């Protein structure tokens, strides 16, 4: 595996590259914008945010969701693109079709070099988070704009409209997802059976597999962390396969060091494990 790329020190007068997260806020600090910012910082980059949804959330669940006015989301995006050197964009939770439309419009207008789309559509409880119109908008507007899309199995099943039961079905699903317009797809394997967890990347040229042993940890924010780690690695100059491989390794290490600061059963990842002595 290619070792992590470390950003060279920059002059105080230079503008270091930034990674923009367009996603929802997790008041419990384990997922969403909060996980993204920790991940981006752990990779030595500057994190920016455009908050598309606010959640009242902790380790036991989500009790309320507030979607800011569309004009305010657009203002956040304008502020970020006007002032910063944005090397990559990570897109997470987008609550409805109008929000998806605004984000797609801005990505089309700004044309950032890298876009990592984490299609957050299914809650950990199994509940669907997107209305049918929003799912259609996600497929039509955002999939073709992404550098890579990072669904888990339930999200891929929603995108395709059928079940994905095993590894062979996962490989077939990658081809179907590419046919929807995504240039590359990383299908996360955490929901599939087996002792090992296999994440599969199809970049339109080759199938790559990233394999790790399963850990007895129910992690919170793993998908957000993986996507923002990929975005950070792309911003640092890695190829897409290496960016995904390193991000999968990063999440595995963050799960090994995870803790349970809340009263719920889920653990919050150790996003800074690589910076600790001996790592």
pLDDT of residue 194: 83
Which token pair is 47? 């994190």
pLDDT band at 115 (very low <50, low <70, confident <90, very high): very high
pLDDT of residue 7: 47
pLDDT at residue 6 greater than cutoff 60: no
Domain boundaries, the chain: 18-273
CA atoms within 13 A of residue 251's CA, in its CB half-sphere: 32
Determine which helix (DSSP H) or strand (DSSP E) holds 101, and give its type and residue range.
helix 97-110
94-113 pLDDT, tens per residue? 989 999 999 999 999 999 99
Based on the number of CB atoms within 10 Å of its own CB, is 53 exposed (0-12), middle (13-18) or buried (19 or more)? buried
Fold entry, domain 18-273: 3.40.1190
pLDDT of residue 1: 45
- Nearest-angstrom CA–CA distance, 259 and 217: 9
Q: Is the pTM of this model over 0.85?
A: yes
pLDDT at residue 11 greater than cutoff 60: no
Determine which helix (DSSP H) or strand (DSSP E) holds 213, and give its type and residue range.
strand 207-213
127-150 pLDDT, tens per residue? 556 677 889 999 999 999 999 999
Give the CA dihedral 37, 41, 46, 48, nearest 10 degrees.
0
- Nearest-angstrom CA–CA distance, 241 and 221: 22
Alpha helices in 111-236 (DSSP H): 132-137, 153-160, 167-179, 222-235
pLDDT at residue 16 greater than cutoff 90: no
37-53 pLDDT, tens per residue? 999 999 999 999 999 99
- Nearest-angstrom CA–CA distance, 35 and 245: 19
Which token pair is 1? 């595996």
**Phi-psi domain of 77 (left: phi exceeds 0; alpha: psi -120 through 50; beta: other):** alpha
């Amino acid at each position: 595996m290619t070792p992590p790329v470390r950003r060279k020190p920059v002059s105080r007068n230079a503008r270091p590259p930034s990674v923009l997260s367009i996603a929802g806020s997790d008041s419990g600090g384990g997922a969403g914008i909060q996980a993204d910012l920790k991940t981006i910082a752990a990779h030595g980059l500057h994190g920016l945010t455009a908050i598309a949804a606010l959640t009242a959330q902790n380790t036991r669940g989500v009790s309320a969701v507030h979607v800011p006015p569309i004009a305010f989301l657009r203002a956040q995006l304008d502020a970020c693109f006007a002032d910063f050197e944005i090397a990559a964009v990570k897109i997470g939770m987008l609550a409805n079709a109008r929000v998806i439309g605004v984000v797609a419009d801005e990505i089309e207008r700004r044309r950032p070099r890298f876009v990592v789309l984490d299609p957050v559509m299914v809650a950990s409880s199994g509940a669907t988070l997107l209305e049918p119109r929003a799912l259609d908008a996600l497929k039509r507007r955002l999939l073709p704009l992404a550098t890579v899309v990072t669904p888990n199995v339930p999200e891929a099943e929603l995108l395709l409209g059928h079940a994905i039961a095993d590894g062979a079905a996962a490989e077939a699903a990658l081809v179907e997802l590419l046919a929807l317009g995504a240039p590359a797809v990383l299908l996360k394997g955490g929901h599939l059976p087996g002792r090992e967890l296999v994440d599969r990347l199809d970049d339109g040229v080759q199938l790559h597999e990233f394999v790790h042993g399963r850990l007895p940890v129910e992690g919170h924010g793993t998908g957000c962390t993986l996507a923002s780690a990929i975005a950070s690695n792309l911003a640092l100059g890695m190829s897409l396969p290496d960016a995904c491989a390193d991000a999968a390794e990063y999440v595995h290490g963050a799960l090994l060091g995870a803790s349970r600061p809340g009263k719920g059963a889920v653990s919050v990842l150790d996003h800074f494990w690589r910076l600790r002595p001996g790592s």
